[in-house]
Chains A and B, each alone.
Chain A
Amino acid sequence: MTGMMNPIQSAAPHAQSRYGGEGYETVVVSSGDARDFLALLKPRVMSLVVFTALTGMVVAQGAIHPVLAFAALLAIAVGAGASGCLNMWYDADIDAVMSRTAKRPIPAGRISPSEALAFGMTLSVGSVLFLGLVANWLAAGLLAFTIFFYAVIYSMWLKRWTPQNIVIGGAAGAFPPMIGQAAVTGSVTLDTVILFAIIFIWTPPHFWALALVKSGDYARAGVPMLPNVRGPDETRRQILLYTLLLAPVGVLPALTGFGGMLYLGVSVASGAWMLLLAARVYRRRDGDAAAKACWSLFGFSIFYLFGLFAVLIAEHGFGLMMPVAGG
């Protein structure tokens, strides 16, 4: 515990020492407002989780009361936010030295580490219990495992240990469609396993494109991202390999029948564009052109995942499903 607190204390001297001194080691008065606590939940990540979980609920072949569906989605969102909060608590020392994250509430000293820990733990337990009571305990168990995987397996172990951190850790972000389906049907089928695979394989090229342009940040923080450990050339090769795998896996829903003609068209076209951008990242290795290629891939990868899942929601939720021939 001491080892975990020291870097955080140095990252947030204001919050720790403001009323510090003998007998006050744990006394902290927050200077954060409601927005700071909201920021701890990583709202942008949370919105992606809500979207993918909603997709899992919509493609699930089952019925659920709309109020319970909303409550289940809310529980999943809060659970995702809680895991983000625990991640920020543990990674405050890293966040403090990276330009992208230095202004987060804990390194900036607006919220103390102990407050963030309590907030994250409370929301974690609350969201899992709520999902169990509202939907079922399979969904709650999957949510609990997702929070554990992200906060403990990824944040505390993989992130600082191996350059494969975001490959394995990507599983945490891939679970929400399964949780959504489990909340509706009480089971998990091949459909959401495929959605899991899409997010899982999408994560490495998405994050490594960012890591290539932010490798200095990660190096300063001592995080063993692939570009720092194996070099940018190897990272570019692996981005291309994962994208070569992602493009066909992205089409699978249309081939197994739960994606229709619209999905087939969008997944083929956007998968081809992802490949083109990954090839550009592979070819352009120096100067502004290299950075631009990385940013293009990073930006489009978000659009790619959003697009695939939006089409699935449109086909299943708004009656746009036109089965692929033979599907």
Chain B
Amino acid sequence: MVEAEHKPDEGRDIHAAANKHGANKPEAPDRVAQGLTDIDRRRRRSRSIALAVTLGLLVALFYVVTIAKLGPGVLDRPM
């Protein structure tokens, strides 16, 4: 009970935060995210940007490869 009343220290104490809401096991992803430091956030941002750039390049690559492989008449097919 005492632990349930404990206020989490800026979200770092994830177990206490979860118990406060009556869960046996805390909902990990949201709670964990509260425990990130500034460095963690910067690195997460770096990962997110890299992922976005990679996905964008993949879209462009798939488009160009499709045109190169199948030709401009790729949509001109008999029904």
Contacts and interface: CB of A to CB of B under 8 A. Distances in A.
Interface stretch (A65-73, A167-175, A234-242): A65-73
Interface string B1-43: 0000000000000110000000011101100110110011011
A23 B26 contact: yes
Contacts of A288: none
Q: Is the interface of B mostly helix, strand, loop or mixed?
A: helix
B43 A33 contact: yes
B63 to A, nearest CB: 11
Given A37-B47, A71-B65, A134-B69, A31 B40 contact: yes
A67 B60 CA distance: 12
Contacts of B39: 31
Contacts of B32: 19, 27, 29
Contact of B69 (A19, A30, A65): A65
Interface in A133-153: 134
B59 interface: no
A34 B40 CA distance: 12
A67 B68 contact: yes
Contacts of B68: 65, 67-68
Interface of A: 19, 21-24, 27, 29-35, 37, 65, 67-68, 71, 74, 134
Task: Count chain A CB atoms within 10 A of each CB in B26, B33, B61, B68 and give the residue with the most.
Answer: B68
The 5 closest A-B CB pairs, nearest first, are A34-B50, A23-B25, A67-B68, A33-B46, A33-B43
Interface in B55-77: 61, 64-65, 68-69
A34 B46 CA distance: 6
A27 B27 CA distance: 10
B43 A30 contact: yes
B10 to A, nearest CB: 14
B14 A34 contact: no
A21 B25 CA distance: 10
B65 to A, nearest CB: 5
Contacts of A30: 43-44, 47
A68 B46 contact: no
Given A67-B64, A68-B69, 6 more contacts: A24-B14, A29-B33, A30-B47, A33-B43, A71-B61, A71-B65
Nearest to A23: B25
A33 B48 CA distance: 9
Nearest to A65: B68
Contact of B15 (A21, A33, A65, A74): A21
A34 to B, nearest CB: 4
